[in-house]
Chains A and B, each alone.
Chain A
């Protein structure tokens, strides 16, 4: 499948909704006939180099798409029959497509974590295995305690596995209350501002 570039001019005196509808119709035509739109560029209203049908401005739109060659006569017919299309041009696109493809996230070295034990694990080991206070309590409590223990044991183990991938860059977040309290006072007055200066 080849990559094509189609540009068309729409009468700017029509309503914005009609302009959008015309652009959408072209996009739907491309995707509906086996094409894949790589880039859509709405250049907006531009002054024409010469008058076309007594108009001095036109709404330019460009689609760069990939598709079979059978799309081209369908597209051409759509432009010719449409009343709002003033001019159109479809060419084979030879340019660089890397500007339109989404860039992969950069791989950055993982943050070295300190070897401090997880808070959950530290609190877990001495206290969580609840010693049975009485026989009746021991009979009722252990099943719940065991599941809680298992869940809490699982979570600190899971956290390092989830956070070690190199792509995740966010450091451990401080408690949510701390930044909210610290930020506003710093932004109240710019440095060097004195009320006395105004007076």
Chain B
């Protein structure tokens, strides 16, 4: 899902750079307000985790590969705006040093995976964790039930978050033939139309990579609850 250089034309990559910069500025502002010196290693750990987990390519037999991003997990652990920063750091290092994702596409990749995926995943997690159903066991103050709700919320949030990131990627790639065609009528950048990008990208994320993201998220959360319960707030 890391869009390389050349797949997005200037309207799209420029537009997404224009979108991500105020997001980074806002995220930095929020992080400056809340980040304590003792939490800095957590930020570094989170960014490192995201970087490393993205090295675990999961294959579709005979097909393409994908990977988890850790976006929702990190948002749950350190907050959504620090997560935007952490994910962006990992994505930028991937692009600059390893060519994983383009330079012109940094805005797009950070917007899709580092912002949309983070906020959607975290938002859904919060909704499910806090949602109150009257006279239901869901309202129970029983810590086991609360625990389960958090884990379910985390799994669903992670699944939704990465699928949103994938969907945005599919749209961005798919509109290029419409936006940028040469004098000969051939696309200048991504030659794949929406009718191709959306099914290709979404099916694999809905049926595999989204599940991988959810499993990674819930597994790590369970581990952290055991070993560092103080990191899980609320």
A and B are interacting partners: no
Q: Report which B residues bind A (CB closer than 8 A).
A: none
Q: Report which A residues bind B (CB closer than 8 A).
A: none
